[in-house]
Amino acid sequence: MEGKEEDVNLGANKFSERQPLGTAAQDRDYTEPPPAPLFEASELSSWSFYRAGIAEFVATFLFLYVTILTVMGVKRSPSMCASVGIQGIAWAFGGMIFALVYCTAGISGGHINPAVTFGLLLARKLSLSRALFYIIMQCLGAICGAGVVKGFQKTPYQVLGGGANTVAPGYTKGDALGAEIVGTFVLVYTVFSATDAKRSARDSHVPLLAPLPIGFAVFLVHLATIPITGTSINPARSLGAAIIYNKDQAWDDHWIFWVGPFAGAALAALYHQVVIRAIPFRSKC
């Protein structure tokens, strides 16, 4: 028995856990980055600042182009079974976000969504000047993406709704607003978790895998809320389609697709910073 106990002790010392549990694991090799300044004048003279904005423009342009064409293809089909259906639309949105976040994360952070940018701004992950620039470029990219689709298929675009978000019959404005708030909360909470600097310091695979859970979150939210609002969770996506489609039904409830995503993003930022990370309660010493 004594020999066996010695073997156990030797094994425990030689093969210790790769990742210890508890606070020691959470704080290993990690320093909390300082909050981004509200305004950073030096950004405005940096090429990387404008390069990031261009990356957001191009990514949102491609996002609208592919997803609106997918929506139109489903609506054009005689039945859901004759097309990719709701599942295909959800995959188009989620898959494009996965691909585009992967491509642009190293340049701009891969936001591709004013709600994501807003949530990160509230968490002081980027400056106000950068956030405003990103949002403007995202909206311009969305407008151009929808515009190119209309340029290719002008008549079908108008007949098939142009991918514009509306409140579906049988649902109230409150239902739609709630769906957009919760859906955006899921997305932005996933973004915070997938890009958390503490997790990146602890687990080297986290930054590499970040686009996957973000894209998958978009996919799942679309499955749940396409029947209610067509799923926005992205004000730029709704604005681009509404401007190019430009019919009353696209504007009647357009406010929902700004208020809902921004409220959901704010709640996700608050939850992550206060509850998950407990940053306001940390000792300053």
State which residues form the domain around 165.
42-281
Q: What percent of the chain has pLDDT over 90?
A: 65
Q: Is residue 12 part of a domain?
A: no
Looking at the chain, list the stretches that DSSP marks H as alpha helix, in order from N- to C-terminal side: 2-14, 23-27, 47-76, 85-104, 114-122, 128-152, 154-159, 173-194, 197-202, 206-209, 211-229, 235-245, 248-251, 256-270
Q: Is residue 10 part of a domain?
A: no
CATH number, position 69: 1.20.1080.10
Cα distance between the two ends of the chain: 49
Pair of tokens at residue 175: 């239902």
pLDDT attached to residue 21? 33
Query: For 25-53, how does the pLDDT look when each residue is reduced to its tens digit (9 = 90+)?
Result: 444 556 677 777 888 778 888 999 999 99
Q: Is residue 113 part of a domain?
A: yes
Query: For 110-167, how does the pLDDT look when each residue is reduced to its tens digit (9 = 90+)?
Result: 999 999 999 999 999 999 999 999 999 999 999 999 999 999 988 989 889 999 999 9
| Domain count for the chain | 1
The residues, any chain, with a CB within 8 Å of residue 261's CB and separated by 6 or more, are: 113, 114, 115, 180, 181, 184, 232, 233, 234, 235
